[in-house]
Amino acid sequence: MKDNYDLVVIGGGPGGYEAAIRGAQLGMSVACIEKRVHKGEPALGGTCLNVGCIPSKALLDSSHRFEATQHELADHGINTSDVNIDISKMLERKDAIVKQLTAGVAGLLKGNKVDWLQGWGTLEDGTGNDKKVTFTPLDGSEAKSITAKSVILAAGSVPIDIPVAKTDGEYIVDSTGALEFSEVPKRLGVIGAGVIGLELGSVWRRLGAEVVVYEAMPSFLAAADKDIAKESQKLLKKQGLDIRVDTKVNNAEVKDGQVVVTADKGGEISEETFDKLIVCVGRRAYSEKLLGENSGIQLTDRGLVDVDDQCKTNLDGVYAIGDLVRGPMLAHKAMEEGMMAVERIHGEKAQVNYDTIISVIYTAPEIAWVGLTEEQAIEQGHEVKTGSFGLAANGRALAQGEGNGLVKVVADAKTDRLLGMHMVGVGAGDIVHQGMIAMEFVSSIEDLQLMTFAHPTVSEAVHEAALSADGRAIHAIQRKKRK
């Protein structure tokens, strides 16, 4: 550890550690301060690698394989019997994946000569040429003052706690606790039908739990395109998720080792009992010990760090990224913002295209989208045309036993420019990147129509959806006029 650095990054999550590595690549002396302790050990990778994206995907994969073995292999002529799940082994696999990845990040910092400072970082004063940062070590030793020419704030976020359902770490848990159940709950309640609620609810439903999801909003997946949301809700309900929209939880309390939930749907009060309750109603920016009284940083009325389009704060040389700032709380957004910030510090003209940030929900089937929904495009004044194609007519999807779902494209009817791509179906999180790339290069619907897609692939549904926008789909009967 030195007394002075070119760059100090406070936060070692995806945005923070990538910024630190990029800074080192550009010749800066860099320190990355991270206070997280996971399973008793200091850990890099933030929420994403330790208790978010990665461990949840590991459990989603395990639970999906278990369900497929139980209910889907017979269709392939594969006979199984007496199938069971070893929850402790499943959790061991999850933890091993997390450990491998977080250790890998530590190796990357070391290999790039980035100092990993294990503890708390506080920006005391960001107004001068030399920014003042206090580093408080995890080991309890004396806090130390360091200076930096530039600082990137990347402290991330934490789950929102709600008064009506206070988490206790055992019966009422947040998203982190839901990754550690030692056995499958017979009945599981979930507050929040967003990304986290649907993914974690899916994990334990596949493993045998009866799952009820409470959603206070009047519609399901309000951020998604209406057609995709409607299809997704239908498929998830068919799988056994009891999704109750427009239903507000008034109270949740533990009685005799069970969670009693009182909910209100349009004035009708209901009471149900669960073995476990997951609270996942969103996340909030994590700023504890991040800013000193004289840091000089301006915050928004929502408690976020106020930044411009390039993530620069009101102070020269100080940037903030990821969940601390405006926009969706997504790891890949934080990654790109971290890279942009450090390159801006270096004098480059880097920029993030916020119009092409992809959203993915890793249920089965996956739900993903990029760009504008049909409703948003209309609200913004576009004359809209859309095209869609169901996977029930896609040969590759059917061969995989994945014929549920659809692809939808949204375009400007006058210019033919692609404005958005939306999908629910197998591989949606990967396939929707085709829309993102097309939008980055300002492609038209005609561009997609003229491309040759390999056969048989699920991606052919993108081609057919584009053709459908002009009434030209080959593998669907259309009523709209062909051009």
Structure tokens at 332: 């890949």
**What does the alpha-carbon distance between residue 147 and residue 415 come to, in Å, rounded to a whole number?**
52
The C-alpha angle 156, 161, 166, rounded to 5 degrees, equals: 145
Please name which of 410, 437, 405 lies closest in space to residue 421, comparing C-alpha atoms: 410
**What does the alpha-carbon distance between residue 53 and residue 61 come to, in Å, rounded to a whole number?**
12
Question: Residue 320: how many CB atoms within 10 A of its CB?
Answer: 31
Please spell the DSSP secondary structure of 6-33, one letter per residue. EEEEE--SHHHHHHHHHHHHTT--EEEE
Cis peptide bond N-terminal to 218, omega within 30: no
Q: Is position 332 annotated as part of the catalytic site?
A: no
Structure tokens at 151: 């600082």
Report phi then psi at 138, rounded to 5: -65, -30
Strand partners, 146: 133
Residue 229, Cβ density class (10 Å: 0-12 exposed, 13-18 middle, ≥19 buried): buried
Spatial CB neighbours of 467, under 8 Å, sequence gap ≥ 6: 387, 449, 473, 474
User: Treating both helix axes as pointing N-terminal to C-terminal, what angle do 87-111 and 14-25 enclose, rounded to 10 degrees?
Assistant: 30
Report phi then psi at 57, rounded to 5: -70, -35
Among residues 422, 455, 463, 475, the one annotated as catalytic is: 455
**What does the alpha-carbon distance between residue 269 and residue 292 come to, in Å, rounded to a whole number?**
46
Catalytic residues: 455
